[in-house]
Structure 1
C-alpha cells in the first residue's frame, strides 16, 4: 500500500505540473461585449507587485503548516516520552516487512503527506476550473486593448468571440483569462482550515480553551484577507474568490475527516503485546475431561457448603428447627 500511495502522489504532482507550467491544456477563449464596464478595471501590474505576491503566499502555505505540525508533534511526543506510559508501550512501529519507524516520524510524515497531497489537489481543481471556464478578469479589456473600430463596436451590445480581437501582451491576456476560481483564495483557506482543525483536534492541554479558537480564527482571518485583497486589486471577481474558498474548504474538510480521521492517530502504539509474545489462547480454550478424583473433591466441597448452611439455620432458629437438625444429623 505504501508504494501504491507513492504512485498516486507522483501522479498528482505530475498532473499539477502539466496544468501549471505547460500548454497541454488550452484555455477556453471566452468572448466579451464591446465597452463592457465589468472588464475595464485598471491593471495594477503583474502578480509580483501585489500586496500578497504569489511567492509569499506559496512560502507561507507550504512552510507554516510544516513548521507548526513538526513542532506540535515533537512536543506531544516528548511529553508522552517523559511519562510513565511510554515505558509500557512500543517505541517503534512497523511500516512494512523490513522497515521500522519511530512513531513521531510516522505521524509527522502522515499528516504532512496528506496536507501536501491536498495542496496539489487544490491546485489541480483550480487550474481545471480556470482552463474549462476561461473566465475574464476585471482588468481584461485594459490588457486586451481591442481595436473597437476594426471590430465594428458601434453598438455596445456587440459580442466579440474571436481571440484575434486583442492587441495587447499575450502573456497578460492569457493570465487575465484564468481567474475562476481564485487560486490564492483556495490555497489560503485550505491551509487555514487544515491547520485550524489540526490545532483544535490535537492540542488537549489545559489552559488552551481560548488559545485554540484565537489561533484558528486568526488563520481564517488571514485567508479571508487574502481573498479581499484579490478583489480590491481588481485581480478577481467576488464569484472567483467565493468559488476558491469553497474548493479549499471542501478539500481540507474531506481530508481531515475522512483521511486522517480528525487527527486521532495515536502517538505511540497501544499496549497490546506483539503477536509472537501473545499467549496461545487457542490451547487454553480447549475443553478437557475431568478426572474421577476431581469430581469427588468437587462433590465434597458442595456437600460441605450445604451442611454449613444447615448449621447456620439451626443456630439462628433452635426452637423451630430442632427436629430438622436431629434428622440431618447436625
Structure 2
C-alpha cells in the first residue's frame, strides 16, 4: 500500500503541474457583450501587487501547517515520553516490509502527506474548473482592450465570441479568463479548515479549552479575509470566491473524516497486556454442586433400597422363629 500511495501522489503532482505550467489543456474562450459593465472594473496590476500576493499565500498554506503539526506532534510525544506509559509501548512501527519508523515520525508524515495531497487535489479541481468554464474576471475588458469600432459594437447587446477581439497583453488576457473558481479562496479555506480540525481533534488538554477554538476561528478568519480581498481588488466575482470556498471545504472535510479519521491514533502504540488465566478461588472450589431433580430422585432410591431389603429379611427371620417355637 505504501508504494501504491506514492504512485497516486506522483500522479497527482504531475497532473497539477500540467494544469499549472503547460498549455496541455486549453482554456475555453468565453464571449462577452459590448460595453458590459460586469467586466469593466479597473485592473490593479499583476498578482504580485495584491495585498495577499501568491508568494505570501503559498508560504502560509505550505509552511504554517507543517510547522504547527510538527510542533504539536513533537510536544504530545514528549509528554507521553516522560510518562510511565512509554515503558509499556512500542518504540517503532513497521512500514511495509523494509522500514521501521518511530510513531512520532509516522504520524507526522501521515498527516502532512495527506495535507499535501489535498493541496494538489484542490489545485487540480480549481484549474479544471477554470479551464472548462473560462469565466471572465471583473477586469477582463480592461486588459482585453477590444476595438469596439472594428467589432461593430454600435449596439451594446452585440455578443463577441471570437478570440481575436482582444488587443491587449496575452498573458493578462489569459489570466483574466481563469476566474472561476478562485484558487486563492480554495487554497486558503482548505488549509485553514484542515488545521482547525487538526487542532480541535488532537489538542484536548484542560488548559487548551479556549486556545483550540481561538486558533480555529483565527485561521478561518484569515481564509475569509483572503476571499474578501479578491473581491475588493476586482480579481474575482463573489461567485468565484464562494465556489472556491466550497471546493476547499469539501476536500478538507473528506480527507479529515474519511482518510485520517479525525486524526485518531496514538503516538505510542501500547501493547495489549497478557490476560491472566482465571484460577478458581478456594471458596469457589468448596461450594457444593447443585443437583438436578432427577439426580436427587435417583439418589433417594439408592438410599432407600438397602432399608427395604433389611425389613424383608427381619420379617422372614421372625416368621422362622415363630414356626420353630410351634
TM-score bracket, shorter-length normalisation: 0.7 to 0.9
1:140 matched to 2:153? The reply is: no
Distance in structure 2 (CA, Å) of the matches to 1:57 and 1:47:
11
Counterparts of residues 76-115 of structure 1 (less than 5 Å): 76-115=76-115
Counterparts of residues 46-65 of structure 1 (less than 5 Å): 46-65=46-65
How much has 1:209 moved relative to structure 2?
1.2
Distance in structure 2 (CA, Å) of the matches to 1:110 and 1:215:
22
How much has 1:217 moved relative to structure 2?
0.3
Counterparts of residues 149-228 of structure 1 (less than 5 Å): 149-228=149-228
Q: Give the number of the structure whose alpha-carbon radius of gyration is greater.
A: 2
Distance in structure 1 (CA, Å) of the matches to 2:98 and 2:11:
26
| Corresponding residue of 1:233 | 233
How much has 1:208 moved relative to structure 2?
1.2
SS in structure 2 of the partner of residue 164 of structure 1? helix
Counterparts of residues 248-259 of structure 1 (less than 5 Å): 248-259=248-259
Off by >6 Å, runs of 4+ in structure 1: none
| Corresponding residue of 1:319 | none
TM-score by length of 1: 0.83
Unaligned runs of 5+ in 2: 278-284, 290-326
Q: Deviations over 1:167-197 (max 9, x none)?
A: 0000000000001000000000000000000
SS in structure 2 of the partner of residue 52 of structure 1? coil
How much has 1:266 moved relative to structure 2?
1.4
How much has 1:305 moved relative to structure 2?
4.5
SS in structure 2 of the partner of residue 207 of structure 1? helix
TM-score by length of 2: 0.84
How much has 1:98 moved relative to structure 2?
2.3
Distance in structure 1 (CA, Å) of the matches to 2:169 and 2:131:
19
Per mean C-alpha deviation after superposition, the further-off stretch among 95-104 and 61-70 is: 95-104
SS in structure 2 of the partner of residue 171 of structure 1? helix
| Corresponding residue of 2:27 | 27
Distance in structure 2 (CA, Å) of the matches to 1:70 and 1:156:
57
SS in structure 1 of the partner of residue 178 of structure 2? coil
Unaligned runs of 5+ in 1: 285-300, 307-330
